[in-house]
Amino acid sequence: MGLLMQVASAILLLILVVGLAMIFRVKSRSEKIMVTQFLATVSIGWLLLKGQLSGKSYLFDVSLLFALLATVITVAFVYFKNGGDEEGHDSDHH
């Protein structure tokens, strides 16, 4: 089982490298945020696997933090993409 988890960890690292290259290849902000979300998901999976393999429980906490940050980033992106301004007011209420 340990070998299978190590192989899965290596595959996730390879996916992370390819995903990082994709950030520089895509043009629109929407595509960049989708790649970023994908990378966050893969990073969470890699951290969970690494935490299980190494027995370091703090990696589970770090993966939870990544999940929370990824959610906040997505919500902020959607808010500003839909016309929210920097002061926190909707553009419909001006």
CA–CA distance, 41 with 67 (Å, rounded to integer) = 8
Condensed to tens digits (0 to 9), the pLDDT of residues 26-84 reads: 888 888 888 888 999 999 999 999 998 888 999 999 999 999 998 898 888 888 877 76
Amino acid of residue 52: Q
* pLDDT computed for residue 11 by the predictor: 93
How far is it between the farthest Cα atoms of the chain? 59
Per-residue pLDDT of 34-49, as tens digits, reads: 888 899 999 999 999 9
Q: Which helix (H) or strand (E) holds 55?
A: none
User: In the predicted model, what is the mean pLDDT of the chain?
Assistant: 85
Q: How many other β-carbons are positioned within 10 Å of the β-carbon of residue 46?
A: 21
13 in Cβ contact with 45 (< 8 Å): no
Task: Reply yes or no on whether the pLDDT at 16 is more than 70.
Answer: yes
